[in-house]
Amino acid sequence: MRTYTIVVEPEPDGGYFVTVPALPGCFTRGRTVEECRVRAVEAIEAHIAGLRSDGEPIPEEVGEAQLLAVTVAA
């Protein structure tokens, strides 16, 4: 069993976009946060299966993810 952090971001037209920072290229979408959780599990499993079939290493999450905000002059 592995645990991965997912990032769930609201989309302008509704719903959410989900990424998995420890697995570049692994993403999904959902209408609700709960749907995002379910779809994230499916996306992660498919992504890992693809890595395995290609003989690539399976990345593990290193450390605890943090969500930070910064202010910039724009």
Using DSSP's 3-state secondary structure scheme, residue 1 falls into: coil
Domain boundaries, the chain: 1-74
**Would you state the pLDDT for residue 8?**
97
* Tens-place pLDDT, residues 53-74: 999 999 999 888 888 899 999 8
Over residues 28-55, mean pLDDT: 98
**DSSP result, 3-50:** ----EEEE-TTSSEEEE-TTSTT-EEEESSHHHHHHHHHHHHHHHHHH
pTM: 0.88
State in words which class domain 1-74 has. Answer: alpha beta
* Tens-place pLDDT, residues 15-25: 999 999 999 99
Residue 51 host element (H or E): helix 33-53
What does the alpha-carbon distance between residue 51 and residue 13 come to, in Å, rounded to a whole number?
A: 32
